[in-house]
Structure 1
Amino acid sequence: MDGVTVGGVRAAARIVARDDGRGGTSLPVLAGDGPLALRRTRGSGAEARVMLVGAMSGPLGGDHFSVAADVESGARLLVGSAAATIALPGQDKGGARYDVRLSVADGGELRWLPEQLISAKGSDLCVTTQVEVGATGRLVLREEQVLGRVGEEPGRLAGRLSVRVGGRLVLDQELVCGAGAPGGWDGAAGLAGHRAVGQLLVVRPEFAEQPMTARVLGESAALMPLAGPAALVTAVATDALRLRRVLDAALATFD
């Protein structure tokens, strides 16, 4: 761990997944520090599984966390988390940062399925997720944000997701909501009073020839094909449980 400073806690975690040559996936790099502890769990078939375990509260104001996962050719990896991440206010009045960098080589596969991110009252968190996928790589990425705990107003939450497939930018979007966010985020053109918002990104090589069809999924989600072998589902819900049900149902449409 880099340690606790006046500016908060700095912590990093890194995963490297590699084809072990025997029909499975090895993890030559599995390193986390401070609040970012990594644990390998029982996999399934060729897929290795890793859980991100929060060893401390946070991120708090002034903290800077970063997580990187690199999936090499032929490897398969699932990354989840043991519990929701809660952004909290801290003694440092500066905002917190959480940076995620994901890389999937040609022939690799990553399922990035963490639990929800909860923005507690008084918190200020900026999350950036940068993804690079090879032209024949495969990815499922789920992001879920919950604005405030039960009966609580949210803090400020800013998120940016950028995705490149085969070197081509297919998605670059930003969402800012909660306290201090630009006006309109909670209006009819924004979240319309919902307190949970999420997205599901699916990258598959076969989408290059057979792209998904844009359509509405139920009452609170929509599927959109992207300009590349990828599709994006965006959903809103009244709470985290309903949001997960919507996204799980959306993922089933890809099978």
Structure 2
Amino acid sequence: MFPRTSTPDIEVVTVNTAGGITGGDQFGLNVAVEPHATLTLTTQAAERAYRAQRSEVGTLTTELDVQAGGRLNWLPQELILFERCNLRRRLRVSLQADAQLLLVEPIVFGRTAMGEALHDARFQDRISITRAGQPLYIDGMNLGGNVASLLQRPATAAGATAMASVVMVAPDAAAHFPVIQSALPPTAGASLLADNLLVIRLLAADSLELRRVLIPVLERLNNNTLPMSWRL
């Protein structure tokens, strides 16, 4: 879907007509941002990884290519993991030399308001960002079995049930760093890996608390309000 906006930039909202992902599903998304174009891409609602059969794995593969002088705001809403899900997710971003990126990936490990906890679930996640073919940011996560117990460990999540990763690749990344760092709660941290590369990791007790911290951060880094679907 292509909502109307008050700016000349393009906004795209993707819709999963299946309503979620389960074992055996294979979803793929390929996006190309042309030279000097700006694209904001979000989702209609939270993505859901549902219960899968033991022998089946759901896969979600996303390929994003940003050409010279382009900018991509990759702003999907949360991925919610359900009990006995089995999901393998891959996100690969290719940036040309002067392309810009704002990326967020929020994850919810069971809906606490519904009393959900992941006692038997599997999730494998990989994020790869390259610039001109060279690695810029690589991240990964492997969770299996009693995820709720793993998240209780102090060195893992200290009881948090929601998290988000934010990556900004832009010339003004360093200017945002001190303001963002001072505004984050004790369960979050920011690192300036280079003058143009800002990375933030957030942990929260639940998805509501995560959004309370995440939305102001994204609006500052985006220099704009978030897409309307984030507020519905």
TM-score scaled by structure 1?
0.76
> Which position in structure 1 is the counterpart of 2:188?
221
Work out whether 1:44 is the aligned partner of 2:6.
yes
Work out whether 1:151 is the aligned partner of 2:118.
no
Runs of 4 or more above 6 Å deviation: none
Work out whether 1:198 is the aligned partner of 2:198.
no
- Larger-Rg structure: 1
Whole-angstrom distance in 1 between the partners of 2:46 and 2:131: 28
Bigger relative CO (Cα 8 Å, ≥ 6 apart): 2
Partner amino acid, structure 2, of 1:235? L
Q: Which ranges of structure 1 fall in alignment gaps of 5 or more residues? A: 1-38
> Which position in structure 2 is the counterpart of 1:20?
none
> Which position in structure 1 is the counterpart of 2:212?
245
Whole-angstrom distance in 1 between the partners of 2:4 and 2:68: 25
5 Å matches for 1:1-255?
39-91=1-53, 93-149=55-111, 150-154=114-118, 155-177=121-143, 179=145, 184-207=150-173, 212=177, 215=181, 217-227=184-194, 229-252=196-219, 254=221
Whole-angstrom distance in 2 between the partners of 1:76 and 1:179: 41
SS of the counterpart of 1:191?
coil
Aligned-pair identity in percent equals 29
Partner amino acid, structure 2, of 1:153? A
CA RMSD of aligned residues (A): 2.3
Partner amino acid, structure 2, of 1:233? I
TM-score scaled by structure 2?
0.83
Whole-angstrom distance in 2 between the partners of 1:99 and 1:164: 16
Partner amino acid, structure 1, of 2:20? G
